[in-house]
Amino acid sequence: MGNEKEPSAAQKAIGGFAPKLVDLTDALLFGDIWERPQLSKRDRSLITCAALVATGKTEQMSFHFPRAIENGVTRDEIVELITHLAFYVGWPNAMSAIGRAKELLGKEPS
C-alpha cells in the first residue's frame, strides 16, 4: 500500500462530487499543461494570477496566489501585478484581488 498517492487538492475538494472534473484537472491541467517546458512554472503562475485578477475569480486566488509564491513569484510582484492590471481590467477587480492577496499573503509585501 506504500504506492498510494496523496489525494490532490481537487480530489479532496470535489472528488466524490465531480470525479471527471478532478481527472481532467489532475491529468490534463496539472499533469500536462503546467509541466510543458515552453514556460517556467513561475511564468505560468504570473499568467494564471493575472487571468484570475482580470476575470475577478477571487475564490481561485486562494490556491493560485500561494502556489505562485511556491513557484518563485514574490509578494511584491503579486501586488505590482494587481496594481498594473487595475488600469487594464478595472479598479473593482484590482481592489478585490488586493484584498484577497492581503488575506492570503500577509499585511506587508516582502
| DSSP per position, 12-51 | HHHTTT-HHHHHHIIIIIITTGGG-TTS-HHHHHHHHHHH
Domain identity same for 28 and 46: no
CA angle, residues 78, 82, 83, in degrees to nearest 5:
115
Which of the 8 DSSP states describes residue 82?
H
Structural domain of 23: 10-39
Domain identity same for 55 and 105: yes
Give residue 110's pLDDT band: very low, low, confident or very high (50, 70, 90): very low
Residue 24 has pLDDT above 70, yes or no: yes
Q: What is the pLDDT of residues 59-94, one digit of tens each?
A: 999 999 999 999 999 999 999 999 999 999 999 999
Residue 33 has pLDDT above 70, yes or no: yes
Structural domain includes residue 4:
no
Give residue 109's pLDDT band: very low, low, confident or very high (50, 70, 90): very low
Contact 73, 46 (CB under 8 A): yes
CA angle, residues 96, 99, 100, in degrees to nearest 5:
85
How many separate domains does the chain show? 2
Domain identity same for 20 and 69: no
Domain identity same for 23 and 48: no
Domain identity same for 54 and 73: yes
